[in-house]
Structure 1
């Protein structure tokens, strides 16, 4: 202790038996022990003793996050109010009127779904696209899942690929690639729109596809290319063919615009159509009272007359004199 009542040495207490080596004031030179630098952890975080001292000196209310109590109170009261609304059935009414709460909140801050831009459609309508994607005015752009929308759209048979993008603050862009409709297939009394490979795209529910090639019968959808080839071979009669029926999975029967059936052979159908074109040019056979024309035999043409034509022919045959005994020839 000096004259002023101060201690010349630190007052740190050490356990019994602990030896402390202190260098003399004159030994701090070259002969003194090298000074040990504090470790990196000590430099950054301080010693555990200093941390304990600082923690003990900071009051508890200063160590807690600011506004923690206010947040907890608001959360508690919000939970109570939400539970009360749910128990009283008010949330269901709110959802019916304004949509899900998170969507309603996003719309309130300007992130609603105000515009939907759809491109790449020619067979589908915009209403069909929106219905397939499940898009309505109660949704918000912020909480829309574009991957979910894309998967919904690609589940539509008419859609080949779909791309969905968000343009903040309130626009959704949908780009579709449609499967091309190449024909209409009738099977078991139902009509289907089919692609070029025969894949069923959708049920035929309107008149948009009436001008497409029309095939009938089991398996006719997968052989629609054969029917298209027959239409090409028909030449000037192509416009008068209304449908092709696949019979027993082997051959085609064509339905003409006047209701007449043209039965084609299993092999050589194109040649049979060439004969039909010649008969029409020379004899106008499609204008006669004929129900069906059978071209399955290469050396002859068999026709089935209408009921009226058959009766008229029978009467004419009765009046015609027959060759035989007692008949003057």
Structure 2
């Protein structure tokens, strides 16, 4: 009988090594993840190494992005401005030359808000895109409280001394008080306190003059002036108002009331008043 030979069940040395390697967790991860990634990355790198392929891919991205940005729900069709006067609204439309319709992705609202706030007349602004494709601009304007005559002419100032805008003529804002002089715009809060203390004289008031950048003069009609001290001018003016209320001091023939020395106020008379005073004194001493 012919004897049958059996194959050796033990694997070959190479097969044994491969089986052992397949049992290694790190190698199995490499086969599942690393090898496909390396093949894909290599193929993509080879494809992108060709300039025509790169240009075609970039064009595809630009077209896809444009298709999304130009969708009707993302388009802004008009701009609405609330809280601004006609002149300020016109200035806003000038500095924001947006060509409608435009995609909302092409609008930098933070930059646009900074441009609006840079206007003298604007204190704060809020920009948003509301439903219906409307660019909404909400503006808080500065409230002018005084007129300042400075090197650039007449300017409107708010309560903090910030410029609101230029003025062509004093008669355009007759109800606003006038301040003049170097440093006047930097001391608007103090000027407002003085104006409040001088309320009984508003009908006669011509304005406040900043003298030497240190103190104020209150100018009235008939060329009268109240010279205020550098320190605590409001209290000094209140004392002058009390004296005027008691004896009608400012209704007399005075050129100025000098309060720069609080302990020694000085009155300066007009020429006619001085002559009349000398005449009365001459009569008192019996001179002809």
- TM-score relative to the length of structure 1: 0.53
For the residue of structure 1 that corresponds to 2:226, the secondary structure is strand
1:240–1:315 Cα change, 3 Å: closer
Count of aligned pairs between the two proteins:
242
How far 1:174 sits from its partner (Å)? 1.1
Task: Tell me the equivalent position of 1:226.
Answer: 190
Question: 1:171: how far off?
Answer: 1.7
Distance in 2 of aligned mates of 1:238 and 1:125: 30
Counting only pairs closer than 5 Å after superposition, residues 276-287 of structure 1 correspond to structure 2 as 276-287=240-251
For residues 187 and 273 of structure 2, what CA distance do their matches in structure 1 show?
Answer: 40
Gaps of 5+ in 2: 1-5, 23-30, 40-52, 57-69
Mapping of residues 101-250 of structure 1, within 5 Å: 111=75, 113=77, 115-121=78-84, 125-135=88-98, 138-142=99-103, 145-147=107-109, 148-167=111-130, 170-188=133-151, 190-205=153-168, 210-234=174-198, 236-237=200-201, 240-250=204-214
Residue of structure 1 equivalent to 2:268: 303
For 1:249 and 1:116, locate their aligned partners in 2 and report how far apart those are by CA, in whole Å.
Answer: 45
1:245-256, aligned counterparts within 5 Å?
245-256=209-220
Alpha-carbon RMSD across the aligned residues, in angstroms, is 4.9
Q: Distance in 2 between matches of 1:123 and 1:229?
A: 31
What corresponds to 1:7 in structure 2? none
Please give the alpha-carbon distance, in whole angstroms, between the structure 1 residues aligned to 2:269 and 2:191. 24
Deviations 1:96-131 (A, max 9, x none): xxxxxxxxxx8x9x9573x32223436964223222
Whole-Å Cα distance in 1 between the matches of residues 158 and 287 of structure 2? 67
Contact 1:141 1:169 in 2 (8 A): no
> What is the deviation of 1:268?
5.1
CA contact (8 A) 1:193 1:201 kept: yes
Give the SS at the match of 1:117.
Answer: strand
**Aligned twin of 1:20:** none
Tell me the distance in 2 between the aligned counterparts of 1:323 and 1:111: 92
**Structure 1: tracts of 5 or more residues without a match:** 1-25, 48-64, 69-105
Q: Is the 8 A contact 1:194 1:200 kept in 2?
A: yes
Is the 1:141–1:171 contact (alpha carbons within 8 Å) kept by the matching residues of 2? no
SS of corresponding position for 1:128: helix
Q: TM-score, normalised on structure 2?
A: 0.59
**Which structure carries more strand by proportion?**
2
Paired with 1:312 and 1:209, the residues of 2 have a C-alpha distance of: 35
1:25-174 paired onto structure 2 within 5 Å: 111=75, 113=77, 115-121=78-84, 125-135=88-98, 138-142=99-103, 145-147=107-109, 148-167=111-130, 170-174=133-137
C-alpha separation in 2, matches of 1:172 and 1:328: 86
Which has the larger share of helix?
2
